Structure 1
Amino acid sequence: MRYGLNQSGFPADDLAETCSILAAAGYDGIEPNVERDGQLTTESGRQEVAGIVDAHDLTVPAISTISHWEYPLSSADEVRRRIGVEIARDMIDAAAALDAEDVLIVPAVVDDGASYDADYERAVQSVRELAGYAADRGVAVAVENVQNNFLPSPDEFAAFLDDVEDAGPIGAYVDVGNALRSGLPSRWLRTLDDRISKIHVKDWLVDHHRVTYPPQGDVDWARVLDAVDAIEYDGWITAEVPPYPSFPERMPADVLDTMRFLFEDGGDRR
């Protein structure tokens, strides 16, 4: 396994300081976010980020964004949808520049009163376009399960992948904590199996409806680990958790220690 931290948990605003903390803790990589008109949308910005990451002997396994909540790839507003597509293209360009394998894509955001079928078709259209663009740049699209009222089961998720996979390299970015919101994380893992590109880890408190750190929530980690073993997954495990409110620089090492305990020691569950 290799271990990364998503930007949502970066302990410092300064990237060099964050990379220094993560490298000292023993991380293998970071997962930065692309923001509209942000640093990773320009060639000079991408080169600067690459230099900082390389200087700390880290890698970038994937590129993510939070902008597809504001500009959904399924939007009925064509202007907003096209902005979402352009943001994803920036993600792909950043991934190519940083030698990242994947871009994390939220394929849709479905609101009350929307036509699910129409949103589905627009999501398929957008993801297929992006898969072709990514393929030309040596990057893969990794579709993530999120709380977006879309593809709530692993079977529906797999069917969506069936509808887009011939357009280019496409896989699943399975988020263990998100999977608990709509089902069983172990079933998501077993169903998607070798279609899984990457795994996000967080935990989820059902009664409080919020994210927490693994294994402090309601995820059945023993079953998750059994599923990971069953599908023989040995790729990237990236934490997507918030920094501590106080002493945020301590969170990355704590979470990495937990990830190693779970995925290398098997949580001492056997």
Structure 2
Amino acid sequence: MHRRTVLKSAAAASVALAAQSLPNKAAAGQFTGKIKKAIKLHMATGNESVLEKFRMIRDIGFDGVEPRVKLGKENEALVRSYAEASEATGLPIHGVVHSSNPDLVGAIDQAKMLGANSVLHVVRYDRKISYLQNYEETKQIIRQAIGHAEKQGVMILCENVWASYLIEPMGMARFIDSFDSPMVGIYFDVGNVVRWGWPEHWLEVIGRRAKKLDIKEYDLTVAMNEGMREGFRKPLGEGSIEWDKVRAELAKIDYHGWATAEVKGGDRDRLVDIADQMDRVLDLV
């Protein structure tokens, strides 16, 4: 009996020692499994093929990608290569970027073909016409496409940009609510608002109207001394944005969805760095 007891104790000690030698499993972050990180496709620079870029983006650890809309017969082969690369690599195309092009129906169809569920739309600001006329005309562009968006299951998401239009959260919320449609929401750009306000204040107001996030940094000190656009130069987490407050507001609305980096791209090493920065500021690991 004594011999069996000694052997059992020795075995238990060996198991404990082996467990101590294993690397510690990384603890999950606050938004692990809730936020999926992506990049804009054009951020992957270089001469690699579309397929090679999709494969690289996937292998780095991004969950998806977002290309720009390319309409017209001359772009059919390129758009088809996006779809083929996504299928071959398993890297989803979660949305498409359409800027302020009024052809939302064409963008919605392209998004659907690529397996995406959103079109990023920039509400234009035409200074040659009155503010109220611009307001109604831009609403009409979106309103005319809502039925098609519902049919295709593709959201129209309006981004807050530097067009000096819809630059505060109450106005943006009212604009979105005027459509009374679940297919129209906000593509919230965290960095773009710092010129006029703070992202956590925007999130407090727009709440669950924020369907997707663009991720970039902004530094007010740099902007004030070197030029407004230079404020975007700082790496994520090293500027004026208080990311802990952003995360707190995202938690309040129980945000689940995509966060896409929109910063200066580059080669594989640069994209790895961006992925690491996103992990830190969004608490993904």
Task: Give TM-score, length-normalised by structure 2.
Answer: 0.78
List gaps (5 residues or longer) in structure 2.
1-34
**Structure 1 residues 47 and 28, CA, compared in 2 at 3 Å: closer, same or farther?**
same
- 1:237 deviation in Å? 0.9
Counterpart for residue 4 of structure 2: none
List gaps (5 residues or longer) in structure 1.
69-83
1:121-158 CA-to-partner distances (Å, cap 9, x unmatched) read 00100011122221121111111111111111110000
- Contact 1:31 1:64 (C-alpha < 8 Å) held by counterparts: yes
Structure-2 separation of matches of 1:85 and 1:30:
23
Counterpart for residue 85 of structure 1: 102
1:216-249 CA-to-partner distances (Å, cap 9, x unmatched) read 32222121121112221121111011114xxx32
Counterpart for residue 212 of structure 2: 198
State the secondary structure of the residue aligned to 1:85. Answer: coil
Structure-1 separation of matches of 2:105 and 2:175:
20
Q: Report sequence identity in percent.
A: 27
1:47 equivalent in alignment to 2:47:
no
- The within-5 A match list for 1:26-175 is 26-37=61-72, 42=76, 45-66=78-99, 68=100, 84-86=101-103, 88-111=104-127, 114-166=129-181, 169-175=183-189
1:2 equivalent in alignment to 2:36:
yes
Structure-1 separation of matches of 2:278 and 2:66:
16
The amino acid of 2:253's aligned partner reads I
- Which structure would you say has the larger Rg? 2
Structure-2 separation of matches of 1:216 and 1:54:
36
Structure-2 separation of matches of 1:34 and 1:136:
19
- 1:9 deviation in Å? 1.6
**Structure 1 residues 8 and 109, CA, compared in 2 at 3 Å: closer, same or farther?**
farther
- Contact 1:110 1:149 (C-alpha < 8 Å) held by counterparts: no
State the secondary structure of the residue aligned to 2:152. Answer: coil
- Contact 2:37 2:64 (C-alpha < 8 Å) held by counterparts: yes
The amino acid of 2:123's aligned partner reads P
State the secondary structure of the residue aligned to 1:64. Answer: strand
Counterpart for residue 73 of structure 1: none
Structure-2 separation of matches of 1:121 and 1:155:
17
Structure-2 separation of matches of 1:95 and 1:147:
25
The amino acid of 2:276's aligned partner reads D
- 1:36 deviation in Å? 4.4
1:64-96 CA-to-partner distances (Å, cap 9, x unmatched) read 034x2xxxxxxxxxxxxxxx322x222211111
Report how many aligned residue pairs link the two structures: 242
- Contact 2:39 2:64 (C-alpha < 8 Å) held by counterparts: yes
The amino acid of 1:262's aligned partner reads V
- Contact 2:236 2:281 (C-alpha < 8 Å) held by counterparts: no
State the secondary structure of the residue aligned to 2:179. Answer: helix
Structure-2 separation of matches of 1:198 and 1:91:
17
* Higher mean C-alpha displacement, 136-145 vs 6-15: 6-15
**Structure 1 residues 93 and 12, CA, compared in 2 at 3 Å: closer, same or farther?**
farther
- 1:58 deviation in Å? 0.4
- Contact 1:108 1:120 (C-alpha < 8 Å) held by counterparts: no
Counterpart for residue 270 of structure 2: 251
Counterpart for residue 202 of structure 2: 188
Find 2:257's aligned residue among 214, 235, 241.
Answer: 235
